[in-house]
Amino acid sequence: MFCWCENYDKYNYEKGTQMKVSTIPGLGSFGHYIDDVDFNNLSSDEWFEIGKLHLQGLVTILRNVNITRDQYVAKIRKFGPNKGTRNSRAHFKIKYGEDFDPKDEGAFDRFNVSEEDRNYLKFKRHFVEQTEGGNFLTRISGERDEQGNSLGAFSDGELYWHSNESSELTFAPEVALLGYKHMTGSTTGFVQSVDCYESFSESFRSELDEMVVIHEYIPGGINNREITDPNLGNVLRMEFCQYDGSEVPMVLTSPGGHKGLHYTTNTATGIKGMTKEESAKIFKIIDEKLFTDKYIYDHKYATDNELLLFDNSVTLHRRKDPGHAQRLAYRIQYDPSNLLDAPWYPYNHLPKYAEKYKIQTHELIEITKLKDFKLP
């Protein structure tokens, strides 16, 4: 085991080595750098301590980690199940039947898969990569093959502020991003909404607590390259807003217990019970306060070997600089069930949506056979 040093900026191993922990600027008390992690000698208990430290905040950046892709998969799986790919898999199983396997191209004719869905599933294969250990990882890159096919999710270009699966009640609340190649000098940005939410008056927070955001897919809302690439558009629709009119509460609690805004500007098109004009006024109030330097941190990669753990519930992220098309990172979206003493309840303040979340989570687990998940 290891413990915090007196000045709260270092972890000490019993073995005598050290991990240095320091504060990330711009994220208040919710961001930590961790340096000098030796993954070859890291015990399970020590890794869990890192996970629990992360949940105390929102963004944790492990610098110069020197970790293999298979080590990365194994470590993140210890925190909890890979949940991010399950929503899209459930979508296709609901649509075509539980026996349908989206990875089996030979089944497309047998299950009468639509042309649009075929194109999406074929296109998506270009940015799923198998590791030496047989694990499958999502590539985040602007690389293209000789035919011009994108070899990474979201293609190249800027990615505006967003949270993944923003219109899903059962979205994956945590993301692990491993910088792998050509990352140096590129940027991943974060904005945390917890301090912003707390800065509003008590009366306005009470109003926000009752609001439910209506989500719709907006072409060009995440990455303007999608406007000229229909395949990319299909991927982004599946990633961010499968169903127009989806409802998700404006305010929720992160797995670590931090209350903030679940607010993605590029799919949030209205507030339930309000006119477009009334909704726009609320969004403007939030935008003017949230997207300011005091809540933003843009992380510039110093090396290729950096592991970013970040919240996807009350934190937004972006790819700020489009000039690094060759950069390659790998992404895992997960639920930190193994780090929690009890199931995560993000919407307890709104009983109707808490019950919807419970029902949809049970359906998701039943359809996709998700394991190691603490049921609400």
Specify the pLDDT at position 135: 85
Q: 243: closest CA among 263, 269, 220?
A: 269
Specify the pLDDT at position 1: 39
- CA pair distance 246, 242, nearest whole angstrom: 8
| pLDDT single digits (tens) 78-117 | 998 877 556 677 778 888 888 888 888 888 999 999 988 8
Chain Cα centroid distance, residue 148: 27
Asked if 159 contacts 141 with a C-beta cutoff of 8 angstroms, the reply is: no
Give the CA distances from residue 203 to residues 17, 200, 252, 262, 295, in Å, rounded to whole numbers and listed in that order.
49, 8, 17, 19, 22
- CA pair distance 125, 145, nearest whole angstrom: 13
Asked if 317 contacts 172 with a C-beta cutoff of 8 angstroms, the reply is: no
Confidence of residue 47 (pLDDT cuts 50, 70, 90): very high
pTM score, two decimals? 0.91
- CA pair distance 197, 289, nearest whole angstrom: 9
Specify the pLDDT at position 4: 43
Asked if 136 contacts 129 with a C-beta cutoff of 8 angstroms, the reply is: yes
**Which residue is it, tokens 């869905």?**
117
| pLDDT single digits (tens) 14-43 | 444 578 999 998 898 999 999 999 998 899
Query: Residue 187 pLDDT more than 60?
Result: yes
| pLDDT single digits (tens) 270-281 | 999 999 999 999
CATH architecture of the domain 2-368 equals 4-Layer Sandwich (3.60)
| pLDDT single digits (tens) 220-253 | 777 766 666 777 777 778 778 888 999 999 999 9
Q: 307: closest CA among 75, 40, 62?
A: 62
Q: What is the mean pLDDT of residues 334-346?
A: 91
Confidence of residue 124 (pLDDT cuts 50, 70, 90): confident
Question: What strand order describes the sheet that includes 128-130?
Answer: 2-4, 10-13, 18-23, 31-35, 59-63, 307-311, 174-181, 328-334, 136-141, 128-130
Residue 70 neighbours by CB distance under 10 Å: 14
Query: Residue 7 pLDDT more than 60?
Result: no
Average the pLDDT over each of 66-75, 132-141, 320-329 and give the range with the smallest value.
320-329
Who's near 367: CB < 8 A, 6+ residues apart? Answer: 89, 90, 93, 94, 98
Q: 235: closest CA among 156, 130, 153, 325?
A: 153
The alpha carbon torsion through 253, 243, 77, 310 (nearest 10 deg) reads -50
- CA pair distance 370, 165, nearest whole angstrom: 18
